Amino acid sequence: MSQHLPATGALNGSPDLRQEEVPADFHSLEQAAQWYAALYVDEASDAQRKAWSLWLQERPEHRRAWQHIEAVSSRFAPLRGDGEREAAALAIEVSTKRRHTRRQALRSLTMLAGTGLAGWLAWRTSPIQNIVTALNADYRSATGELRTLTLADGTRVWLNAGSALDVDFTDAHRLLRLKSGEILVDTAHEAQGRPFYVDTSFGRMQALGTRFTVRQYEDHALLAVFDGRVAIRNLAGREEIVAAGTQRRFSATAVAAAEPVDPAREAWTRGILLAEDIRLDVFLSELGRYQRGHLGVDPEVAAIRVVGRFPATNPMQALAMLERDLPIRVRRILPWWITVEAR
């Protein structure tokens, strides 16, 4: 294309939406992907560009959806020409300014909160803070990548896709800091008897000779113990012991009741996505950790239940298995934009 399409904030007569945080709805996102395919991938006529502009200005959700696809395309779409390169640069600029706005808001929050517990916990548990600190982690795994580490004391650690971890071993302790994602830890016994800790944004765990997984979500962490015991102490000071065969979720201020351990929390280390009667949208959220680009699901089929074993490191095969067994269709509007919808 000889001309690039303007970023949403540059549209004549349209508001600058860079500070809006409300996500676009599913159907607006799908329409945005179709417009992108028509205008960026194929040669578009003046009439098509005009129709796109009218669609874009029709609803705020359309502009939010277009911003989202620009941001995704800047990371995953092949750039074939000056027009697309300029459009991608604009999308990156919008995304960067949005992150800058969020950082300003977080700074304001901490200043207003002073030394209060609520303000401190808000920053410690912020997903933005987790993303920023993960960039400088000692060990990281990319989307779709599973890593295995052997630490200096012989402890083995598995990193799930999209995870980040710091290691801090001293004469007094062995400490892992989980910055993002999920790990499985198989602790080694050592003669020194140094305590073994895992820190998250929500609190500290101490391994008591054990094998366990820890996953960090935006608003809580999940500890699943397969052997031995693990002690939890969250940021508010609440303490609990989690026994083998059970798991607990905990936030900065609360610890949930124990529940039977979910085998899926260990299956991923073998490259398996284990679904035991879970919603389709929940399953696809897990699969999205192994698939680059956008993986969306139509709300019409989001509640379908999924049961089975799926290859985590081969997302396209997993999607094909779902399409074979469920009343759904997997549609690829673009190589990096996949939608699951009703058949």
Predicted TM-score (pTM) of the model is 0.68
Mean pLDDT of 192-218: 94
In a domain, 222, yes or no: yes
| Domain stop point among 242, 262, 282 | 262
The phi, psi pair for 283, rounded to 5°, reads -60, -45
pLDDT tier, 75 (very low <50, low <70, confident <90, very high otherwise) = low
pLDDT number for residue 13: 32
Query: Does 127 fall in a domain?
Result: no
Q: Which of 111-120, 229-238, 259-268, 318-327 has the lowest mean pLDDT?
A: 111-120
| 192 and 143 within one domain | yes
* Mean pLDDT of all residues in 110-133: 43
Q: What is the pLDDT of residue 292?
A: 84
* Pair 253, 121: CB distance under 8 Å: yes
Q: Are residues 244 and 149 in the same domain?
A: yes
CATH code for the domain in which residue 196 is found: 2.60.120.1440
- Which backbone phi and psi does 214 adopt, to 5 degrees? -130, 130
DSSP per-residue string spanning 217-268 = -SS-EEEEEEEEEEEEEETT--EEEEETTEEEEE-SS-BPPPEEPPTHHHHG
Residues 211 and 318 in one domain: no
pLDDT of res. 17 = 31
- Residue 119 domain-assigned? no
Residues 195 and 248 in one domain: yes
Average pLDDT over residues 184-205: 94
Scored b (16 or more CB within 10 A) or e, 293-306 reads: bbbbbbeebeebeb
Whether residues 250 and 151 fall in one domain: yes
CATH code of 289's domain: 3.55.50.30
* CA separation for the pair 295, 338 (Å, rounded): 5
Average pLDDT over residues 273-292: 92
Residue where a domain stops, chosen among 85, 102, 119: 102
Tell me what pLDDT residue 135 has. Answer: 65
Q: In the chain, pLDDT over 90 holds for what percent of residues? A: 50
Q: What's the confidence (pLDDT) of residue 42?
A: 59
pLDDT value for 27: 81
Domain containing residue 154 = 139-262
pLDDT tens digits for range 13-30: 333 333 344 457 788 887
Give the span between the Cα atoms of 67 and 46, in whole angstroms: 21
**Of 76 and 87, which is predicted with more confidence?**
76
Based on its alpha-carbon atoms, the radius of gyration of the chain, rounded to whole angstroms, reads 23
In a domain, residue 121? The reply is no
Tell me: do 252 and 276 sit in the same domain.
no
Residue 107 lies in a domain: no
Check residues 56 and 149 and name the one with the higher pLDDT. 149
What pLDDT sits at residue 90? 39
Burial 32-47 (b: 16+ CB within 10 A, else e): bbebbebbbbeebeee
- pLDDT at residue 263, as a whole number: 94
Angle at which helix 280-287 crosses helix 315-325, to 10 degrees, equals: 160
- When comparing pLDDT for 41 and 243, which is higher? 243
Which of the four pLDDT bands, split at 50, 70 and 90, describes residue 92?
A: very low
Q: 268 pLDDT exceeds 70? A: yes
C-alpha 149/C-alpha 159 separation (Å) is 8
Catalogue the E-assigned strands of 151-191.
Answer: 156-159, 164-169, 174-186
